[in-house]
């Protein structure tokens, strides 16, 4: 195998596929990147849970394939001069890498035994843009559970029906729900994607309107970005009926500036450190003032925020991290915060649309 390609393109492709290289595995071949020179140059990594394939332009002088240790290959290419990189592989799997006045020779691995990139029939299709899915992941991924005893909750429910794409995550203490309309009202999809894989996918998606095609079968999902394709396995099982746990009636509601609320909670939380469960924040809603306090062994803090309160006076306690993580991903200037009771779920939502809903459970007094 012999080919020439630009350094920048090669570095970007390596950085992308490395996200599917396992940190620890008994299968040495999975620690490598499969490089295949044919009509174009393809780089592939596969940890058997997530597979990523990148195609880049290259001058192919001799077709072939090889597996190269991902970490070493990436470090070598990144340190090369900003110029055309020449790579040759001989019959003994020796890999020669040259660029200007720099030359490396390392040992590669035969591609035999490297898992094939999963094949998915392109029937069940969802067409959207990369930036939309990227934002929807960012605005829900933080609420994914880490409890392996409830594997379904370690993933994000992705559902498309009636022209609406919905992402839902829940860790039993909070729920994040994000919706966005899609053009194809006939598109149908309901899958649970592992949170770990979805987090890596979000790093590959760009922030532009570039087209993204998504396809699923029984246990796999494909994100097709053109030159980059990502396949993730899906989690088995039924996601709970999240609609049934979101309250429909509220005892008290407020409309408040998102940034001011976030900064106030962060300010009070300076005294909490990692003692989140032991020292919550206390919210008192009374006489059109939201008072946020905490009292710890270090000291106490208090912030008062004037706001219009509709409903009954209320005092309620929360884990501040749950509030902050939800507010951080909200882009609206103002939000509604709805309290069902002093022991019931609290909802953070947009003012005039149902694009997002965050539900938080209070802490017991």
The mean pLDDT of 202-209, rounded to a whole number, is 92
The reply to whether 119 falls in a domain is: no
The mean pLDDT of 237-254, rounded to a whole number, is 94
Please check whether residues 137 and 228 belong to one and the same domain. yes
Model confidence at 278: pLDDT above 70: no
Say if residue 119 is exposed, middle or buried (CB neighbours under 10 Å; 0-12, 13-18, 19+). Answer: exposed
The helix/strand/coil state of 261 is: helix
The reply to whether 365 falls in a domain is: no
Please check whether residues 239 and 304 belong to one and the same domain. no
Say if residue 114 is exposed, middle or buried (CB neighbours under 10 Å; 0-12, 13-18, 19+). Answer: buried
Model confidence at 364: pLDDT above 90: no
Q: Which of 210, 243, 276 is the last residue of a domain?
A: 243
Please check whether residues 238 and 132 belong to one and the same domain. yes
pLDDT value of residue 287: 93
The mean pLDDT of 198-204, rounded to a whole number, is 97
The mean pLDDT of 23-34, rounded to a whole number, is 93
Q: In what order do the strands lie in the sheet with 32-37?
A: 64-69, 32-37, 41-46, 50-56, 228-233, 220-224, 211-216, 124-129
Q: What is the mean pLDDT of the chain?
A: 94
Please check whether residues 340 and 252 belong to one and the same domain. yes
The mean pLDDT of 22-41, rounded to a whole number, is 94
The mean pLDDT of 98-110, rounded to a whole number, is 96
The mean pLDDT of 319-340, rounded to a whole number, is 94
Residues 6+ apart with CB under 8 A from 57: 5, 6, 9, 40, 41
> Measured over all CA atoms, what is the biggest interatomic distance in the chain, rounded to whole angstroms?
81
Please check whether residues 232 and 274 belong to one and the same domain. no
pLDDT value of residue 186: 83
Model confidence at 259: pLDDT above 70: yes
Q: Which of 243, 278, 293 is the last residue of a domain?
A: 243
* Dist CA 105 CA 95 (whole Å): 5
Distances 212 to 132, 133, 158, 193 between C-alpha atoms, Å: 9, 9, 15, 17
Is there a contact between 353 and 257 (Cβ–Cβ < 8 Å)? no
The reply to whether 295 falls in a domain is: yes
Model confidence at 277: pLDDT above 60: no
Say if residue 164 is exposed, middle or buried (CB neighbours under 10 Å; 0-12, 13-18, 19+). Answer: middle
130-164 pLDDT, tens digit per residue, is 999 999 999 999 999 999 999 999 999 999 999 99
pLDDT value of residue 121: 87
Model confidence at 365: pLDDT above 80: no
Is there a contact between 159 and 190 (Cβ–Cβ < 8 Å)? yes
Show the domain range for 177.
Answer: 124-243
pLDDT: which is higher, 352 or 335: 335
Residue 267 φ/ψ, nearest 5 degrees: -65, -50
Please check whether residues 102 and 163 belong to one and the same domain. no
The mean pLDDT of 44-55, rounded to a whole number, is 97
Provide, rounded to the nearest whole percent, the portion of the chain with pLDDT above 90.
88
Instruction: Report the range of poorest mean pLDDT among 32-46, 205-219, 269-283.
Output: 269-283
pLDDT value of residue 187: 86
The reply to whether 115 falls in a domain is: no
Residues 6+ apart with CB under 8 A from 26: none
Please check whether residues 201 and 218 belong to one and the same domain. yes
In the numeric block, which tokens belong to residue 164? 């609406």
pLDDT value of residue 274: 64
In the numeric block, which tokens belong to residue 266? 């962060």
- Total number of domains constituting the chain: 3
* Dist CA 314 CA 286 (whole Å): 7
Q: Are strands 314-318 and 308-311 parallel, antiparallel or unpaired?
A: unpaired
Please check whether residues 236 and 260 belong to one and the same domain. no
Query: Which residues share a beta bridge with 17?
Result: none
Model confidence at 362: pLDDT above 90: yes
DSSP 149-195: TSGGGGEEEEEEETTEEEEEEE-SSEEEEEEEE-S-TT--EEEEEEH
pLDDT value of residue 298: 86
The mean pLDDT of 20-24, rounded to a whole number, is 92
Q: Which of 60, 75, 107 is the last residue of a domain?
A: 107
Q: What is the CATH number of the domain that holds 135?
A: 3.10.150.10
Q: pLDDT grade, residue 54 (50/70/90)?
A: very high
Provide, rounded to the nearest whole percent, the portion of the chain with pLDDT above 70.
98
* Dist CA 45 CA 241 (whole Å): 35
The reply to whether 113 falls in a domain is: no
Residues 6+ apart with CB under 8 A from 352: none
The reply to whether 196 falls in a domain is: yes
The reply to whether 102 falls in a domain is: yes
The reply to whether 138 falls in a domain is: yes
């Amino acid at each position: 195998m012999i080919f020439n390609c630009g350094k920048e393109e090669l570095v970007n492709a390596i950085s992308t596929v490395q996200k599917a290289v396992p940190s620890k595995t008994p299968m040495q071949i999975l620690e490598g990147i499969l490089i295949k020179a044919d009509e174009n140059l393809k780089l592939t990594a596969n940890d058997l849970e997530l597979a990523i394939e990148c195609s880049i332009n290259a001058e192919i002088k001799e077709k072939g394939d090889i597996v190269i240790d991902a970490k070493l290959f990436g470090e070598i290419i990144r340190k090369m001069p900003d110029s055309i990189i020449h790579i040759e592989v001989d019959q003994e799997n020796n890999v020669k890498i040259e660029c200007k006045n720099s030359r490396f020779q390392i040992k590669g691995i035969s591609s035999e035994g490297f898992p094939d990139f999963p094949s998915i029939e392109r029937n069940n299709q969802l067409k959207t843009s990369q930036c939309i899915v990227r934002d929807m992941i960012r605005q829900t991924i933080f609420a994914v559970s880490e409890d392996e005893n409830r594997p379904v909750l370690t993933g994000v429910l992705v559902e498309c029906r009636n022209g609406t794409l919905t992402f839902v995550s829940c860790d039993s203490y909070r729920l994040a729900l994000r919706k966005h309309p899609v053009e194809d009202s006939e598109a149908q999809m309901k899958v649970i994607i592992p949170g770990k894989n979805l987090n890596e996918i979000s790093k590959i998606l760009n922030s532009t309107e570039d087209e993204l095609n998504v396809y699923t079968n029984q246990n796999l999902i494909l994100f097709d970005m053109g030159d980059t394709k990502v396949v993730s396995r899906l989690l088995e099982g039924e996601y709970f009926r999240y609609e049934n746990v979101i309250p429909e009636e509220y005892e008290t509601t407020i409309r408040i500036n998102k940034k001011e609320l976030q900064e106030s909670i962060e300010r009070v939380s300076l005294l909490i450190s990692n003692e989140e469960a032991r020292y919550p924040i206390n919210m008192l809603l009374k006489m059109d003032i939201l008072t946020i306090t905490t009292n710890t062994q270090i000291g106490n803090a208090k912030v008062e925020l004037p706001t219009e309160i509709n409903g009954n006076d209320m005092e309620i306690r929360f884990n501040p991290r749950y509030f902050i993580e939800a507010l951080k991903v909200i882009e609206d200037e103002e939000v509604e915060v709805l309290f069902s009771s002093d022991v019931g779920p609290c909802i953070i939502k947009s003012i005039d649309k149902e694009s997002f809903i965050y539900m938080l459970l209070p802490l017991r007094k």
